[in-house]
Amino acid sequence: MDLGLVLILLLMGAVGGFMAGLLGIGGGMILVPFITLIFSAQGFPEEAIIHMAVATSLGVILFTSMSSVRAHHRHGAVLWPVALLLAPGILLGAWCGPWIAKQMSSAGQALLFSIFLTFSATQMLLAKKAAPAEGVAQRGLPGNAAMFGAGGVIGLVAGLVGAGGGFLSIPFMTWRNVKIHNAVATSAALGFPIALAGTLSNIYYGWNTPDLPRYSLGFVYMPALLVIAAASVTLAPLGARTAHKLPVHTLRKIFAIVLYCLAAYMLRKAIGT
């Protein structure tokens, strides 16, 4: 990679890492479209580009989540019992997501990601504090089986699109009367099992794929992963600290606009593939 490309990847990692810490989103929503753009410019095999972008994004989240969750843990915000209840389902779902993605065409994956970005952006714009329940017991966290199922859905979708799962786990937890700061912090912790299972699954299912670029580990492109992760790990704690100091409503609106633009790009990619 030339110096210009390295600098672009570092900038991507910095922005993704900061947003991961700030909003508990894992950074994948930003990373996947931009990695797709870069891999396309590098002339990577067209049918493998989005698979590789998703896989590389999950590999980055593996590092980002560890950096982000440490900062949230110092504030005592991570609800570890909740994370442990969701983790088994998340591991299973995140392993299955890349297998499903492999059965899809590149255009299908791009369309799926465009829909996902549009949904996430709209969710951010319309997000309101959950209305208080009449009693915590009436809308507290469900039992173990339901938590496993919820984790499975979160992991499956996250593994499909290469994101950290915060777009589903945060609304789920706040709806169940978990305070927003705790939901964001716990979502950051859930990013690790999502990324671990998703990355290993993408390595396994992409292992024998022909014509992948040099230095690919399955669908994971290691040079991009290492450069982006270096910047992400540095900026994620700053984002986490900021989340505990500033209201994020304005930032959510700005971020939503960015997501709509990225959704338009991925839709164009789907139509043009």
The confidence score (pLDDT) of residue 90 equals 95
Share above pLDDT 90 across residues of the chain, in percent, rounded to a whole number: 27
The tokens of 114 are what? 């465009």
* pLDDT value, residue 21: 66
User: Which of the two residues, 152 and 119, has the higher pLDDT score?
Assistant: 152
DSSP string, 33-85: HHHHHHHHHTT--GGGHHHHHHHHHHHHHHHHHHHHHHHHHHTT---HHHHHH
Cα-Cα end-to-end distance for the chain: 25
Q: What is the mean pLDDT of residues 10-16?
A: 82
pLDDT, tens only, 88-115: 999 999 999 999 988 988 888 889 888 9
Spatial separation of the C-alpha atoms in residues 257 and 251, rounded to whole Å = 10
- For residue 61, pLDDT beyond 70: yes
